[in-house]
A and B are shown apart, each in its own frame.
Chain A
Amino acid sequence: MPSNDDDFAAAVRRAGVTIPPERWDIMREAYRSMQRLLAVLDDPLTYADEPAVLPNLIPRGRP
């Protein structure tokens, strides 16, 4: 985890939003918490694991 604000500041710039100074630390902590949860998305996937798309959310076995 970076020890400074660089990654968060870059994410804010990329999003194109403005964070008021008094909310900066709170939003940075929220960003870090989100990235901790999303770390499971880095688990390995196979080439065959394609994204879900809407029609295929309808599983097999319609009653």
Chain B
Amino acid sequence: MSAGPLPTIAEASRLIAAGEASPVELAEAALARAAALNDRLAAFIEITAERARAAARRAEAEIRGGRRRGPLHGVPYGLKDIYDAKGLRTTAQSRLLLDNVATEDAETTARLEAAGTVLIGKLATHEFATGGPAWDLPFPPARNPWNTDHFTGGSSSGSGAAVAAGILPLAMGSDTGGSIRLPAAYCGTVGLKPTYGRVSRRGVVPLCFSLDTCGPLTWTVEDAALALQVLAGYDPRDPGSADVPVPDYRAALRQAVAGLRVGYARRLNEDAGVGAEQAAALDRAAELLLSLGIEIVEVDLPPNDHFQAVARTVSHSESFAIHQQDLRERPELYARVTRERLTLGGFVTAGQYVRAQRLRRILTARVDALFDTCDALLTAVIPGPAPVLEQTDQRPWREPQPLSSVFNVTGHPCIAQPCGFAANGLPLSVQFVTRAFDEPTLFRVAHAYEQAAGWTARRPGLSG
């Protein structure tokens, strides 16, 4: 293996099938790259080298013995450190869980292990997948591989950094208000938030029961489809899991897109304070889709402040309910920013919470109605390129509100992917959205755009 970025899942799978690379070589390449870059990126909380080598040797023996399990067999991956992996600590980047050793795999971890993947390590997050980058924690915040002075986005910060840096072709994240798509957008990777209920959350530290969604960060849309094929499915032990058949996601990539209709929510950009560079990149993305034979129509979403009021009320209330006892009895163990943001949930009244859930149903129906005439939506997910890490908002109440939580409120599947670069060299991002459980159309549109745009050829200029 070269010392450069690891191959994508699809490419690694092809190399393994052709005998041109082995799981052991891939694992060693990932471990070497992690060792070379982690001091600069702080992407990993823990690198599980011996476990990885053992898993890679097992995968190699099975494949050589003619027992190849599928395209993910022998492929390295990482887990945001809120996912349980039996025998390893799940810290959620918090002092409160420093001694929390998992006794069982999360359902998602178990599915990935059954597919033969090779765990390289546990990845940095914002504390309990909330708060923000903090310096008063046992682990430092991750840094953006495109420019280490800049923010990765969060809370799946290590996942975004590790995939963008080419250390891993696959990293798991979680998305309650944008925590997969924001690091994907700021780090220039693909980030998939599946439909709420599509992927089990069992064994993943919760932040907000009715918004939390598990999903992958990858370098390409095809890799996201390959990962979801393994991750998707009903889990009776997750109360939010949906018993819906799992289609062939990779097959969707081969379907033509001409004749599809995409609704461009251009006015959301203005409503949500999207900057000129990002807005222009979205316009160019729409024009490129048009050139592929996709019809573009402008659509209006309900006002952004309605979505934000619902998202913040629900997420703050539910996360406070989870952390209430620790916030009262040992608040000093949290980072200051985490503690203060979680505390806000204690100020929400029961009436506000119920009214937010009522408005949530109305907003979901209004977005759902757009899919009567559109196959997909195109929207912004970030207002502009990643800010400087030390200049990120550390106040308890973030202004302006992020626009990524719109589709956490409604539960629709969405994908963030690169759509260009700002003048300072940092990635810009576009988001596609489809009907609930219509991830095939999501992959179809996103893959067609990715192939036509060609942004995946550009990698961060890291050495190591």
> Min CB distance, A31 to chain B, in Å?
5
Query: Digit string of B388-410 for contact with A (CB within 8 Å is 1, else 0)?
Result: 00000001110101000000001
- A62 — which chain B residues lie within 8 A by C-beta? 244, 436-437
A56 within 8 Å of B (CB atoms): yes
Q: A23 and B309: CB pair below 8 A?
A: no
B window 344-400: CB within 8 A of A: 344, 346-348, 352, 354-362, 364-365, 368, 371, 395-397, 399
Complex CA gap A22/B334 in Å reads 17
Q: If A15-B347, A52-B357, A63-B437 touch, does A57 touch B197 (CB 8 Å cutoff)?
A: yes
A window 1-45: CB within 8 A of B: 11-12, 14-19, 23, 26-27, 29-31, 33-34, 37-42, 45
In the complex, identify which listed stretch (B21-29, B148-156, B324-332) lies at the interface while the others stay far away.
B324-332
> Min CB distance, A30 to chain B, in Å?
4
- A14 — which chain B residues lie within 8 A by C-beta? 346-347
Total contacting residues, chain B, CB less than 8 A: 56
B71 within 8 Å of A (CB atoms): no
Q: If A52-B364, A58-B411 touch, does A26 touch B395 (CB 8 Å cutoff)?
A: yes
- B247 — which chain A residues lie within 8 A by C-beta? 63
Q: B436 and A33: CB pair below 8 A?
A: no
Q: A51 and B306: CB pair below 8 A?
A: no
- A15 — which chain B residues lie within 8 A by C-beta? 320, 343, 346-347
Complex CA gap A23/B324 in Å reads 19
Complex CA gap A19/B435 in Å reads 43
Question: A38 is contacted by which of B352, B361, B371 (Cβ under 8 Å)?
Answer: B352
Complex CA gap A37/B354 in Å reads 16
Complex CA gap A59/B328 in Å reads 38
Query: Digit string of B303-316 for contact with A (CB within 8 Å is 1, else 0)?
Result: 10110111011001
- A53 — which chain B residues lie within 8 A by C-beta? 357
B239 within 8 Å of A (CB atoms): yes
Q: B239 and A54: CB pair below 8 A?
A: yes
B210 within 8 Å of A (CB atoms): yes
Complex CA gap A60/B70 in Å reads 33
Q: A41 and B343: CB pair below 8 A?
A: no
Question: B309 is contacted by which of A40, A58, A61 (Cβ under 8 Å)?
Answer: A40
Question: B364 is contacted by which of A18, A33, A59 (Cβ under 8 Å)?
Answer: A59
Q: Could you say which of B313, B331, B358, B438 has the most chain A C-beta atoms within 10 Å of its C-beta?
A: B358
Q: A51 and B396: CB pair below 8 A?
A: no
